[in-house]
Structure 1
Amino acid sequence: MKKRWVSMLACVTVLSTLLSACGGDKEAEKNAAVADENTPLELTWLNILHTASPPTDTIKKLLEEYTNTKITFNWVPDASKEERITTALASGELADIVTLTMMTNSSVRSSLKSGLFWDVGPYLDDYDNLAKIAPEVRAAASIEGVLYGVPFQKNLARSGLIMRKDWLDKLGLPVPTTLDEVYEVARAFTEDDPDGNGVDDTTGFGDRNDLRYSSFKTLSSYFGTPNGWKVDESGKFTPEFDTQEYMDTLNFSKKLYENGYLAQDFAVTAKTDQQQQFAQGKTGIYTGMVDISSLRTLAQDLQEGLELVPVNKISNGDGEYHIWSEGSGVGGLMAFPKSEVKTEAELKRLLQFINDLIDEEAFMLMTGGIEGTHYEFDENGAYKVLNTELWQADVQPFSSSRPSEISYTLKDANPEKQLANELIRENDQYAVFDPTVPLDSATNNEQGTELAKIITDATFKYIMGQATEDDFKKAVQTWKDSGGTKITEEYEAAYKLTQK
């Protein structure tokens, strides 16, 4: 019996040694491949998918050739990103590059601060494109001065409204410039038969179940609500939902809803469904100027005579314009987990890959695709998609993964899209920043996402007439008592440190 036990132990020891050797050999092979810059770098990328389907391999192969890599994408649908990303962070099932767009999410911030990801700040200036990332963008993307990934560079403020210009013209309405005029457009688009079919089948505002990217946040900007938080001269912080401007927005949205001028199913509507409703002519106002080309494409062959107009400057009547800024020009991070990226050499190869994606050739592959196949430049130098269906299948899913959307400016052959691009750049003048973007709160990292649900639920219930103003104020107090007051104090303390 003893001999058999010794024999079994010996076998296990030999097997363990062999497995360790195999693992060591694989790690050695990987390190050797990373060290040899002529060998394609094999990488995985946990990325967000903003389209209905993942892209074909057409553009991926060209990007691999340009960047000398072999890429495996793990796509996460945008609609389920919060659940999927937080689960991946908790389980450690990550990739070499992880796209993190929910920078205010408590799970994301906690993971970043825990040391799970590399600090890339000391490396950026070693790469020609990454070195051009502005100091204020790096600061906004950092947590307590540490940059845990390469920031996606975005325009400061892309929000605004898209309206059916053909409906405005049919009803004799001008493009609105005030909130009162926006309300009148929503009313007319609902009650005055803008499509002329004699049927009561249209609604002014389409919307979705996302408080941040729905109409509410944009309308809130127009009312002058602070972006996330208000900070006064003494350094006192007030959450946006504890301001009169937020309450004004609530009442405006509630009035839209109770009169039927706001989609009645908005609280259970996903972004893709909101887009389809607009494309099918069921709604006439959409939030998000950046989506104007997608909406036109979706409406192709569905809406004869469709004309769209982007709108970015709406005042509350005082002639002043405000629009909330999405992360102060930061669209999230491309982060590198230490569990997957184990050496500095591998990190540097991955940073070179990101740097290469900012080159104009890679930018055009991810924006337009292949010249002559997917797009062309007309006689005026304007960019034009040649085959929309092919571009959607091959190219469109990559556009949201471009490390920088601001490095190059294309003149769009579609005048609607060109105007939207110009208005998005004009928004820089009116952008309202969230003062907490570069700050940190331990309590918010731990509880922020759950606490935010208290306000989201209370906001939706108020808009839908299921709660009174007193009910909403009680929800705000619940937020404070459950950790909100502590979050406020921690932001105030962190802010004071930045003022020294």
Structure 2
Amino acid sequence: MHKTSLKSLLVGCAVLCGAHGAQAQSISVWSRQTDESISVLKALTDAFTADSGIKVETFNTGIDFEQRLARAAAGRTLPDIVLNDTTAMGQMNQMGILKPIDPSKIAGSQDVSTSAWDGAKASDGQFYSVPISAQSFAMFIRKDWREKLNMPQPKTWDDVRKLAEAFTKQDPDGNGKADTFGMAIPGSTTRGYASWFMSSFIWQAGGDYVKQLPDGFVPTLDTPQVAEALTYVRGMICDKLAQPGAINATTGDTLPTFRSGQTGIFVSGPYHIPQIDAEPGKDKTEVVMLPAGPGGIASLSEGTSAYLLKSVKDEDAANKFLAFLVSPKGQEIAMAQGSGRTPIVRLPVNTKVDVNAVRQDPRWMVFKETFDKYGHYMPAVPNWTAIRTVTGEGFNRILAQCDADVPTELKALNEQVKIELSGQNALSASQQ
């Protein structure tokens, strides 16, 4: 009887311990990616599993990611790691789901560029994520249209305006119809697209969203520089140099207008190179640096970060995955070179990875040079997502009203942002 019980106990322990061990050697990763990146994510996790023996369960979506996170947090079914936009840090941190990260515990973290780490730093000075990808923005232009009309590559706001006018009024595709437009503009309030698009122009004008004081952030939207940026872009819409419906368009709407030959100027990141090479074609397009405004050249810098959640079950396994993401091998796999798929890593954050050697495409160097010399990350306010929503709605309202007084509208918007920031500053102070 005693031997039978002991044997049963040992068998039971073996089963339970084995199950626990298997569980300990797996992690769950959620990723805010489009379907174009599914195969890239799979290649990345497969390589990690082959190297480490740690299995990775993945889930990805590109449309309702934030809502799914909120539901998972409420139901206590969160994953171990989340791959999401760097600008999502504040919102996720205010949800109380993020675990602070000590870079010294991530193997190879010293090889990640300082600018990428700075972009991933929270307003309280702590790190709640590991940067895995960076990007800047440039202009995709219909080279065949520009050369047909004998126009130069644009270097300034004035150049871009003239090119947009020519693309709209001079029949660049030669079909005898007035069916082309200059610039593709995503002016929608959805996910704050209007604010996202306007950011580079605001910095090119010499303006900014906020400034940081010792006791928190204050808005700086009611300035002549920001008014000049809004007036310039609104002119494109009101003078019908942008595609119809620009005021309600997202980038998901504007990309097809460029690919189909409706618009000739498209501001975006390097992740759209594969689709644009497929249509309208690499030979018909070019990538040029964003123009200089009154304040010089400037571009929004963005990135993707890996967030460690408080729900993590095996922190050692999770840290190994984070280390793999920033390793040269992980970075190069996620760059998806030659796959025709949207890469997860656009510009590598690992300084040992040579963009030119991997990409072998001079267009990528336009984005790299822009990021290195002229990149601006969004301000590290406690919750940028909320500010992006408020400013996106405000900018959309200004862009939609051709007769509205821009400085007056910006003054009212500045007050709205001040209220939002005041709440964020108070919440941050109470959490410290």
TM-score, with length taken from structure 1: 0.71
Structure 1 stretch 93-102 or stretch 60-69: which is displaced more?
60-69
Q: Structure 2 matches for 1:295-444, cutoff 5 A?
A: 295-299=275-279, 303=280, 306-316=283-293, 320-326=296-302, 331-339=303-311, 341-342=312-313, 346-368=314-336, 385=338, 391-392=339-340, 396-397=341-342, 399-400=344-345, 404=349, 406-411=351-356, 417-434=361-378, 436-437=379-380, 440=382
Structure label with greater radius of gyration: 1
Taking the aligned partners of 1:260 and 1:26, their CA distance within structure 2 comes to 70
| Structure 1: 5+ residue stretches without partners | 1-21, 36-40, 370-384, 386-390
Q: Aligned residue for 1:195?
A: 173
Asked if residue 48 in structure 1 is aligned to residue 29 in structure 2, the reply is no
Asked if residue 71 in structure 1 is aligned to residue 48 in structure 2, the reply is no
Paired residues of 1:412 and 1:418 also in contact (CA < 8 A): no
SS in 2 for 1:241: coil
Q: Aligned residue for 1:32?
A: 21
Query: Does the C-alpha gap of structure 1 residues 419 and 103 become closer, same or farther in structure 2, counting only changes over 3 Å?
Result: closer
C-alpha deviation, 1:260, in angstroms: 1.0
Q: Aligned residue for 1:16?
A: none
Q: Aligned residue for 2:7?
A: none
SS in 1 for 2:356: coil
SS in 1 for 2:221: helix
Q: Aligned residue for 1:175?
A: 153
Paired residues of 2:132 and 2:305 also in contact (CA < 8 A): yes
Q: Aligned residue for 1:224?
A: 206
| Structure 2: 5+ residue stretches without partners | 1-11
Q: Aligned residue for 1:266?
A: 246
Structure with more contact order per residue of length (Cα contacts < 8 Å, sep ≥ 6): 2
Taking the aligned partners of 2:300 and 2:43, their CA distance within structure 1 comes to 36
Asked if residue 460 in structure 1 is aligned to residue 396 in structure 2, the reply is yes
Deviations along 1:421-452, one digit per CA (max 9) or x if unpaired, are 24422442223455x42x64xxxx5xx64564
Query: Does the C-alpha gap of structure 1 residues 411 and 268 become closer, same or farther in structure 2, counting only changes over 3 Å?
Result: same
1:118 paired residue among 94, 99, 103: 99
Query: Does the C-alpha gap of structure 1 residues 245 and 67 become closer, same or farther in structure 2, counting only changes over 3 Å?
Result: farther
Taking the aligned partners of 2:363 and 2:264, their CA distance within structure 1 comes to 18
1:211 paired residue among 194, 199, 211: 194
C-alpha deviation, 1:481, in angstroms: 6.5
SS in 1 for 2:28: strand
Paired residues of 1:204 and 1:263 also in contact (CA < 8 A): yes
Paired residues of 1:207 and 1:266 also in contact (CA < 8 A): yes
Q: Aligned residue for 2:4?
A: none
Q: Structure 2 matches for 1:465-476, cutoff 5 A?
A: 465=401, 468-469=404-405, 472-473=409-410, 475-476=412-413
C-alpha deviation, 1:347, in angstroms: 0.7
Q: Aligned residue for 1:13?
A: none
Taking the aligned partners of 2:150 and 2:276, their CA distance within structure 1 comes to 22
Deviations along 1:110-161, one digit per CA (max 9) or x if unpaired, are 02xx3x333221xx33454224335664454233233223232425xx1221
Taking the aligned partners of 2:16 and 2:35, their CA distance within structure 1 comes to 36
Q: Aligned residue for 1:141?
A: 120
C-alpha deviation, 1:164, in angstroms: 1.2
Taking the aligned partners of 1:413 and 1:355, their CA distance within structure 2 comes to 20
Paired residues of 2:34 and 2:60 also in contact (CA < 8 A): no
Taking the aligned partners of 2:292 and 2:415, their CA distance within structure 1 comes to 32
SS in 1 for 2:141: strand
Paired residues of 1:451 and 1:482 also in contact (CA < 8 A): no
Asked if residue 479 in structure 1 is aligned to residue 424 in structure 2, the reply is no
Structure 1 stretch 467-476 or stretch 26-35: which is displaced more?
26-35
Read off the aligned partner of 2:157 and give its amino acid letter: L
C-alpha deviation, 1:456, in angstroms: 1.8
Query: Does the C-alpha gap of structure 1 residues 363 and 201 become closer, same or farther in structure 2, counting only changes over 3 Å?
Result: same
SS in 2 for 1:205: strand
User: What RMSD in Å do the two structures reach over aligned CA positions?
Assistant: 3.7
C-alpha deviation, 1:69, in angstroms: 2.5
Paired residues of 2:247 and 2:400 also in contact (CA < 8 A): no
C-alpha deviation, 1:44, in angstroms: 1.4
C-alpha deviation, 1:454, in angstroms: 3.6
Asked if residue 94 in structure 1 is aligned to residue 78 in structure 2, the reply is yes
TM-score, with length taken from structure 2: 0.81
Q: Aligned residue for 1:10?
A: none
Taking the aligned partners of 2:426 and 2:79, their CA distance within structure 1 comes to 36
SS in 2 for 1:55: helix
Taking the aligned partners of 2:350 and 2:246, their CA distance within structure 1 comes to 30
1:150 paired residue among 130, 133, 136: 130
Query: Does the C-alpha gap of structure 1 residues 311 and 402 become closer, same or farther in structure 2, counting only changes over 3 Å?
Result: closer
Structure 1 stretch 190-199 or stretch 304-313: which is displaced more?
304-313
Deviations along 1:189-234, one digit per CA (max 9) or x if unpaired, are 11111111111111111122312443x22222322222x32458x9
Q: Aligned residue for 1:372?
A: none
Paired residues of 1:289 and 1:311 also in contact (CA < 8 A): no
2:141 paired residue among 163, 168, 172: 163
Paired residues of 1:358 and 1:402 also in contact (CA < 8 A): no
